[in-house]
Each structure stands twice: as structure tokens, then as C-alpha cells.
Amino acid sequence: MLVFVKSNYSKTGLGRLAYSLKIHKNCEIIYIDKISDTNQHKGAIGLFCGFMPSELFQNYSVKNKYYLFCSPFGQAELSFPSKNYFPNEILLLRELYTLKKNNIVKNIITPSKSVANRMGFIYLPPIRIIDHSQLKICKDRKNYGFLGDNIRRHKNVFNQIAAISMLLPKEPIIVDYDTFLYYGETCKELFDCELQFKDGLSDDNKFIQEIKTHRLGFQCSWSESFDYLALEYCLCGVPIICSYCIDWFPPLDKSFNMYVHNNDSYIDILNTSKLILSDESFYWELSEHIQEFCTKMNEDNKEKLMNILNNNFFNGLR
């Protein structure tokens, strides 16, 4: 299978999912900018990631075309026009369904269980390909992390930064570059907090080493199909404050958990954070628990992913 990923999506959830397919020897990842560049590669199966469906009509290099759609229903409803994104993901979903119904696209691949179940798409359990020797728990934790693709509506940016800014006022909040550009001045004025981005985090090793030094991560989103960032923090043993939209999250003791009941309340986000940080012995116990849970989940998902790829693509073409 040739997996064509639009270059600017390589570090997004879509890009992470596409990259995870490298665990199968018959999957080749190809990063390109234009759909016309795919014609340099010939294959029986092509999976397209980040391109518009209409662009697929221009491509004749592969016989059987598949498309990667990462958004759950809730995220599609919250989508909005922005550069690099389809103007409305519900329209995108409708277009993909029509292409599948007319057999122009063989099927749609998604990491969203709800979308896969409702639409008859192929569900892929997401995994993180990672060097486990990197994952020794770091005891020197300094910052709060708010990394990820945070300029979209479903990321709930202001509530989270409002809460983080009250945990340790005057300490910087580590964010991605886009969040720094879009929200830096506003958050400094409204919350008197400093947003800080670090260069070089596109390098996977530096990214992992950075998040290992965070006290807490934050992903109280309104909608997530899977959330790779939460998985990455948990694999590093760093607690990450999340909403109930992440359905795979580690089961925890009811007295202490990382869930926020009300995403719309920065007070709830703040109080959940304080609860975790107030008991140091529990904090490190929690770190070990989430790392153990997510490491096992990651390994289990690798096996499931291999079986799905074999059954749908490589044990006879479908």
C-alpha cells in the first residue's frame, strides 16, 4: 500500500496515524505537496491523507483508492473555515460517502470508532511507533504543556490556558508555535501569563524529551477521535488533564482521576489539576499507572492494526 501524506499534515493526528502504518512491511509512506506528484509512484492500493477528495480524480497511479478521515462527528460539527482545512468537515464526510457509494473510492479509513461504526468505514486503532528506551520516567518536571494543533474550535483553548495560568502564575506555559502566534498577546493581557514555544519540537526525539519534563499536560477538548497527544504524554508517564471525549483513557480510582467533568469551566480544569498535584506520592503512582496502561494498550493496538491491515488489504485485494 502506498500511503500518500500531504507534507503539512505530517505532525498532525492524521499524519501520526498514517505513519503508524509503517509497522506493516507492505506499507510505504510518501510525503508530497501536490496530488500530481503521486503519479511518480505506481501501486495497486493507495491511501490518501490530507488531500481533498476532488483531487483524487486527477490521480491514476493507483487502481484502488482509499481515503483517511480523522474527525469524529462532533469535531465535524465544530469545524470552521481555515487555511489548510476543508471548509466544513460535514460536507467532506458527505462527499466521501458519495465517493464510496459510487465505488470511486474503495473505502474510508478512520481512527474514530463512532464514524466507522455508523458509516461502514474501516476503523484503525491508532498506535504510536516509539523507541521504548526513551520512556524512562523523568523526575525533573518543570513546565505545564499545552501542545498540539490548538487553533481549532474543538480544542477549547481559552478555558485551558485560563486554568493553567493560575496553577503557578508567572511560570511559562509551553505551547506549539501556532498557539503562541494566535493567543500569545491576548493571553498575556487577559491572564497575565507567558506562552512560550520551543524550537526543534518537530524532531520526534526532542519532542518526547520535552513532554517528559512537564508536570501536567492538558487536552480538555470538546471532540477527539483518539488524541495522540494524550497517548504521548501517558506513554511518558506524564498525567494529562482530559475531557470525557477521550474514550480510551486509563481507568482510575474514583477519588483521583484526570477527567474534567465540565469542559466549559476553567475552575473544574484548575481543581482537577490541583488535586493531582496536591499529593506527591499519588502523583508518581499515577505517572507509573498511566505509563503501564498505555504501553500495554499501544502494544495491543499494534497487533489489532496488523490484523486489520492484513484482512482488509493484503489477504487478497478487496
pLDDT category of residue 255 using cuts at 50, 70 and 90: low
Mean pLDDT throughout 200-212?
87
Q: Are residues 287 and 174 in the same domain?
A: yes
- Tell me: the pLDDT tens digits for 280-308? 999 999 999 999 999 999 999 999 999 99
**What is the distance between the alpha carbons of residues 231 and 184, in angstroms, rounded to a whole number?**
26
Q: Please answer whether residues 269 and 159 qualify as being in contact, where contact means their C-beta atoms are separated by less than 8 angstroms.
A: yes
Mean pLDDT throughout 24-41?
90
Q: Are residues 143 and 104 in the same domain?
A: no
Of 166, 165, 167, 219, nearest in space to 194 by CA: 165
Predicted local confidence at residue 147, as pLDDT = 82
In a domain, 32, yes or no: yes
In a domain, 318, yes or no: no
Predicted local confidence at residue 284, as pLDDT = 95
The last residue of one of the domains, among 97, 124, 151, is: 124
Structurally, how many domains does the chain consist of?
Answer: 2
- Tell me: the pLDDT tens digits for 211-234? 999 999 999 999 998 889 999 999
Q: Are residues 293 and 164 in the same domain?
A: yes
- Tell me: the pLDDT tens digits for 14-30? 899 999 999 999 999 99
In a domain, 244, yes or no: yes
CA 205 and chain centroid, separation: 17
Q: Are residues 114 and 182 in the same domain?
A: no
The last residue of one of the domains, among 124, 155, 174, is: 124
Query: What are the CB-based long-range contacts (under 8 Å, 24+) for 85-89?
Result: 85/152, 86/52
> Out of 21-35, 165-179, 245-259, which region has the weakest mean confidence (pLDDT)?
245-259
Mean pLDDT throughout 225-244?
92
Q: Are residues 108 and 229 in the same domain?
A: no
Strand, helix or coil at 240?
A: strand
Q: Which is higher by pLDDT, 76 or 80?
A: 76
Q: Are residues 244 and 178 in the same domain?
A: yes
What percent of the chain is predicted at pLDDT more than 90? Answer: 54
Of 175, 126, 128, 174, nearest in space to 150 by CA: 175
Mean pLDDT throughout 200-217?
89
Predicted local confidence at residue 85, as pLDDT = 53
- Tell me: the pLDDT tens digits for 120-154? 999 999 999 988 888 899 999 988 988 877 777 88
The last residue of one of the domains, among 89, 124, 159, is: 124
**What is the distance between the alpha carbons of residues 63 and 7, in angstroms, rounded to a whole number?**
23
Which pTM value belongs to this model?
Answer: 0.90
Q: Please answer whether residues 105 and 65 qualify as being in contact, where contact means their C-beta atoms are separated by less than 8 angstroms.
A: yes
Q: What is the CATH number of the domain that holds 255?
A: 3.40.50.2000
Q: Mean pLDDT in the chain?
A: 88
- Asked if the model's pLDDT at residue 12 lies above 90, the reply is no
Predicted local confidence at residue 318, as pLDDT = 47
Q: Are residues 204 and 268 in the same domain?
A: yes
- Asked if the model's pLDDT at residue 160 lies above 70, the reply is yes
Q: Are residues 81 and 145 in the same domain?
A: no
Domain with 276, as residue range(s), is 132-298
